[in-house]
Structure 1
Amino acid sequence: MQAIVVFHDKGAGFWPWLFGRRGFRHCFLALNDGRAWMVVDPRSNGTEILAEVAADYDLTAFYRLQGFTVMEAEVRAAAGRFPVWFFTCVEAVKRALGLRGWWIWTPYQLFRCLEKAHGK
């Protein structure tokens, strides 16, 4: 399954605006199951899940044209349980990707982790 993680500043709450790195105050995930892109956007007022567009649409280019940072990601099977942690946009994306790492709790740290995984 193809996955991309999108980072941006729009819709971020008070604390991310105060302490977050510019351009990396919020993140969400888009998954391509071969039929459509599904967007999972965890927000403070609830998680939005949408079947966005057809699978062959270049969603990465669409988000980059809007000025967002986009990283490809690998979806892994999660082995075992995840530790109890604050539910944030980062934690939701990590769990959907099967990514572990208690030290990853900001969108920028998640970006750096994905960047390192892709050898960039």
Structure 2
Amino acid sequence: MTGPAHRRAARSVGQQAFIVFGGQADQPWLRLLRPGFRHCFAALADEAGWTVLDPLTGRLVVARLDLPPGFDLPAFYRRAGLTVLGPYAPTEPRPQWLPPLAPFSCVALCRAVLGGGAPFALTPFGLFRALQAGLPAAS
């Protein structure tokens, strides 16, 4: 295997990605988006536990959660009223000839977590629909 150690480690631990959608809007313009789908973030599960990647306006929050072994984080988010899709197995990135033209957003982060197989989307609801329609969940 080639590449940085963290990439090799991510492949070896069998990460599973969950994409979480919610209706909270930290900026007024986000209220133009569909209620319930104004923001999205990723939760990654591996053998050591849970890591959450949440792109807020002006800041990326990366948190390793201190939870008991076997804690069902997706079920917790669902009970909190959020919509959760997954698990997905992150894939290798797709080669690109040009840099992406879309701005960094919560959708861009979630697509990057999913890897090269992630569907194109610009809004959280667009990503939700595209994931429901096509990306197979991990077993």
Fold conserved (TM > 0.5)?
yes
Contact 2:119 2:130 in 1 (8 A): no
TM-score normalised to structure 1 length: 0.87
Equivalent position of 2:122 in the other structure: 105
Gaps of 5+ in 1: none
TM-score normalised to structure 2 length: 0.76
Runs of 4+ in 1 over 4 A off after TM superposition: none
SS in 2 for 1:7: strand
Give 1:1-120 correspondences, 5 Å limit: 1-17=15-31, 19-52=32-65, 53-54=67-68, 56-72=70-86, 73-81=88-96, 83-98=100-115, 99-101=118-120, 104-117=121-134
Q: How large is the RMSD of aligned CA atoms in angstroms?
A: 1.7
- Bigger drift between 74-83 and 56-65 goes to 74-83
Contact 1:12 1:25 in 2 (8 A): no
Gaps of 5+ in 2: 1-14
Q: Supply the distance in 1 between the matched residues of 2:101 and 2:74 (Cα, whole angstroms).
A: 31
Contact 2:17 2:113 in 1 (8 A): no
How far did 1:64 drift? 0.5
Contact 1:32 1:55 in 2 (8 A): no
Q: What are the superposed Cα offsets for residues 14-51 of structure 1, whole Å, 9 maximum, x if unpaired?
A: 1111x100100000000012111100000102000001
Bigger strand fraction: 1
